[in-house]
Chain A
Amino acid sequence: GDSVTQMEGPVTLSEEAFLTINCTYTATGYPSLFWYVQYPGEGLQLLLKATKADDKGSNKGFEATYRKETTSFHLEKGSVQVSDSAVYFCALSGRNTPLVFGKGTRLSVIA
């Protein structure tokens, strides 16, 4: 079945550092890909999405590019802030199949 693998955390970075959180997927066909973010004490929020190969999703300085050839959707940000501390989930959704999540990566940014 469809699955998502993302890098294990926790990830700890200093403010203004570059962030990459790796995500790879296994799916039949051409799924849509998502990054969700969960701030402490809150539910998940959509951060960005891409619905076809080579699409780049972006939001709040975060970017991820749908790479069909490597089945990847890595999340990047050039300069993280303390307020970016959260848990990040990669997810996919195939045709007529519910959303499948990775296990989440906890990011801590220190000043």
Chain B
Amino acid sequence: EAQVTQNPRYLITVTGKKLTVTCSQNMNHEYMSWYRQDPGLGLRQIYYSMNVEVTDKGDVPEGYKVSRKEKRNFPLILESPSPNQTSLYFCASSLNGGRVSNQPQHFGDGTRLSIL
């Protein structure tokens, strides 16, 4: 089954304790992306990757890191989490590398992070 898998689904942690949210897709997609969803703000892009070893900042990259060493995986790293990073996070992927204009994105089920 084609899917985007995120782990963990839920995490409660404390300020400053490094964490990683994993994302894996099994569709051989070139493009992957991370979003955060906050009430009243909709979805905002954190980082995206057009292909292996290519990553770019989205609208709200501060406090986050990503890597794309393999095509299927795109982990999101919070080196020193803070309470303002409490949010619902989504990973997504789509087929296109250079041109993303007409391909839909496939989303994971989300990771709810609470930073105390």
- Output the residue of B42, B99, B108 with the most chain A CB within 10 A: B42
The one of A41, A99, A102, A103 that contacts B105, using a Cβ cutoff of 8 Å: A99
A95 touches B107 (CB 8 A): no
A101 to B104, CA, bound (A): 12
Q: Mark B55-75, 1 if CB is under 8 A from A, else 0.
A: 000100000000000000000
B110 to chain A, nearest CB (A): 5
Hey, what's the 0/1 contact readout for A78-111 against B, CB within 8 Å counting as 1? 0000000000010001111111011110000000
Q: Which residue of B lies closest to A46 (CB)?
A: B104
Main secondary structure of the interface of A (DSSP, over half): loop
Q: Interface readout for B12-39 with A: 1 if CB under 8 Å, 0 if not? A: 0000000000000000000001010000
Is A20's beta carbon under 8 Å from chain B? Answer: no
B105 CB → nearest A CB, Å? 6
13 sample A-B contacts, Cβ–Cβ < 8 Å, listed by A number: A31-B101, A32-B101, A41-B109, A44-B43, A44-B90, A49-B102, A93-B100, A93-B101, A96-B98, A98-B100, A102-B42, A103-B42, A104-B43
Smallest CB-CB A-B distances: 9 pairs: A103-B42, A43-B107, A46-B104, A101-B43, A44-B107, A32-B102, A51-B102, A43-B109, A32-B101
Task: Please report A residues at the B interface, Cβ cutoff 8 Å.
Answer: 31-32, 34, 36, 41-46, 49, 51, 89, 93-99, 101-104
